[in-house]
Chains A and B, each alone.
Chain A
Amino acid sequence: MATVSEPPQGGFRLSQLIYDTRYRSMTIQIVTLIGVLSLIYWLGANVAYNLAALGKPIDFTFLWAPANYDINQMLIKYDSQDSHARAALVGLLNTLLVAVLGCVLATVVGVIVGVLRLSSNWLVARVMTVYVEAFRNVPVLLWIVLAMAILIEALPQPRDFRGDDPAASMLFDAVAFTNRGIYLPEPLFTRSLGEVPFFGIFDISLDLLALLAVLAAGMLAVRAIGRRAERIQNATGDRPTTWYLSLGVIALPVLVLLALLGFHLGYPELKGFNFAGGIYLRNSFIALWLALSLYTAAFIAEIVRGGIIAISKGQSEAAAALGLRPNRTMRLVILPQALRVIIPPLISQYLNLTKNSSLAIGVGYMDLTGTLMGTSLNLSGRELECVMLTMLIYLAISLVISGVFNLYNQRVKLKER
């Protein structure tokens, strides 16, 4: 016989809001909502009052006023008469440049170090451990200023390259390492296709687009060749040699295109007190890039090592039983599986690197922090707007990066059914 307890009778009492589980969660939520909203209201009211007292209400029109300052590294055209908004865009591109290059270098170094830490070679494993511990336990800002100091103090000045018997000389007569930065040869085209404006924001070089198009076509051709080789292998058991075909379809069209465009290298030359021509990598950029990459690489190395250890020993034993050599075991068996463990923490390291790139302000590299939250803020006096905008842009970058990589993570994740 089932007994059903009677629902509590009687009217609603106030204490039920806390003691009755039917109402309690609602009570908590409403109290939280009221609390947070009143906090926000209080902060907002304070801001409104303080800004009114200072006589500068929130106003973003300053973004379109001339910035009146120069930026020392720009990927798109900019001069001091351009607006604050464009200065911020230049800074944003500089942030993205150092973030992307940093992520690439950090991944390469990190994977190599992580694998070498597990090397059977005692000495190599110890040296890598020292590298990881040294970089992980010292603040990244210290590494950045240290890298800057090394570049400034240890490399020769441009004037050392002058004279008949110069104190310093260029590498292969093409690359100059100076304490102001590194000068590399730049690619030039005598029969250039010119540039097209991109929505009036910046110009894209048509030469670059043509090169990319040819490369993409080559990639497609390589995939077709690979599929054909697969078909032949499935039918006959022999895989035809294809590497020279692949090389041909990639390299030949590119070489032809380069010849058509009249490709040549423009070498940096010493003019007066400094070098002119060529690609100039500022020392602030190099210091930031190297320091961020090597710092993050130490963390990535630990992630890679952890991922490899997480793969059970049985996997490598099985690979050995199949007769795979150690490096093929690593490449074909361990790393693909370890990747699934590695990717989520790797994403957060990429995010950290991107956010740490804001420390550029420590060495005077003009990134988003240096332009919008630095000089623009000081010149326009709009602290609230500049800082808020900078935060929002960084937030957007972070959300995009984590969104894209989470998508990738979903794809490589083990499909469990």
Chain B
Amino acid sequence: MAMTPYVRTRMLEQKPPPVTSVGPAGWMRRNLFAGPVNSAMTVVTLGVVALLLSHLLPWVFLSVWNADSLAECRQIIDETWGTEHSGACWAVVRERFLQLVYGFYPWDFLWRPNLTFVLMLVALAPVLFTGLPRRMLVFSVLYPFLGAWLLWGGPVWTPLLALAGFGVAALGWRLGGRVNAILAVALAVLLPLLWWILVMGPLGRGLSALLPLGLEPVESNKFGGFMVSVVIGMSAITLSLPLGILLALGRQTDLFIVRSFSVAFIEFIRGVPLITLLFVASTLLNYFMPPGTNFDLIVRVIIMATLFSAAYIAEVVRGGLAALPKGQYEAADSLGLDYWQAQRLIIMPQALKIAIPGIVSTFIGLFKDTTLVSIIGILDPIGLSNAIRADSAWNGIYWELFAFIGFVFFLFCFSMSRYSMYLERKLNTGHR
């Protein structure tokens, strides 16, 4: 009799995985309690986090929003939660909110910074998001003149005539181009300079005498708070990108003299702290200017911050340029493109794409560094926090102001870094 070996003819039903490896229990076991060391780390971290939160959360939330002074705040806290509790006095943020945002900007004209800010978002939108109509870029180009005029005020002719300088440059280019190229370049550079230096002032005064259109001028020393940070940060960011790209190209070129100047400039700026440059802006710049020139402290700071950040941008862009394979340059040459065409169409789009994370982190750094202006006496948020503390009603208030300022900076910088990640993902054409 033949033996029939036992052979299973039907697959068994799959068993459910053990309860300890699925669901929340499994997740916790894998991610929090995998082994004794891991478990110990989890427990210790939990303890530290719980300790921090148990102090922080009551302070943040069992707090006072309506009071006129720190003493009143403390009194309300004592009455509501007992004397042991130490809650935050957010009333200072509420009471001084306008000051923290606008500094001492005349309160009647607050619509001007507000409008400037909204228009800034409009101007930035087509630059940041390529899905929007390209025609909006025209507004972005005009915006700096409009924004500066709205903030500082003065006759409407100043920004218009400053803009007209570019028209003069185009005119010079056309006229000179009829004769030869050298004259075209020379006229395109010299004519607008003459226009801005010599013609603009008298012409502007004449026009405003004829037709006094304009806004009430506001002095720079009235600017303060986050407005100053945004104005300095945004201007320096916008101006430093083209300058930084030029410097990076200057550092890469074969032209010895151009390269030496670029290297010297970049290394000098990167070698000194920003605060020394701000000291130059606040104390020395008058020495370097012809006697009698006296231009605005905030403009001086913007110039210095621009130079500072341009040197860093230049290094970041240089990294992007160096990361491009040599074949790209050769391909551009073989297509018969000249230097600027090759840069514009082939090299820069790729190099800048590689450099985006670095560029954005330079911008974030610059925006954070705008707080340094408090040291040279501009009332940025940190400078204002000292000023508010000097008021007898709010004497001794530290944490609430620092927390608020830190929170706002965090929002700005964190969203910038998230945007850069979005951009990196969007532009990533690699196949990985």
Contact = CB atoms under 8 A, between A and B. Distances in A.
Interface of A: 14-15, 17-19, 25, 28-30, 32-33, 36, 43, 46-47, 49-51, 53, 119-124, 127, 133-134, 136-142, 145-146, 149, 153, 351, 355-356, 358-359, 361-362, 369, 373, 377, 383-384, 387, 390-391, 394-395, 398-399
Interface stretch (B5-13, B271-279, B340-348, B424-432): B271-279
A395 B271 contact: yes
Interface stretch (B111-119, B153-161, B327-335, B410-418): B410-418
B121 interface: no
B322 interface: no
Contact of A50 (B31, B48, B286): B286
B180 A358 contact: no
Nearest to B280: A387
B166 to A, nearest CB: 20
B291 A53 contact: yes
- How would you classify the secondary structure of chain A's contact residues: helix, strand, loop or mixed? helix
B49 interface: yes
B68 to A, nearest CB: 22
10 A-B pairs closest in CB distance? A137-B413, A122-B31, A398-B271, A355-B273, A395-B271, A139-B368, A358-B273, A139-B371, A29-B257, A149-B398
Interface string B221-242: 0000000000000000000000
Nearest to B262: A32
A138 B45 contact: no
Contacts of B38: 120-121
A14 B273 CA distance: 46
Interface string B341-378: 00000000000000000000000100011011011000
Interface residues of B, number: 57
6 contacts: A25-B255, A28-B258, A29-B255, A30-B257, A127-B48, A369-B276
B410 A137 contact: yes
A361 B272 contact: no
B422 interface: no
Interface of B: 31-32, 34, 38, 41-42, 45-46, 48-49, 180-182, 185, 254-258, 261, 267-268, 270-276, 279-280, 283-284, 286-291, 364, 368-369, 371-372, 374-375, 382, 398-399, 402, 405-406, 409-410, 413-414, 417
A361 B287 contact: no
Contacts of A139: 368-369, 371, 382, 409
A193 to B, nearest CB: 39
A46 B180 contact: no
Contacts of B399: 149
Contacts of B45: 121, 123-124, 127
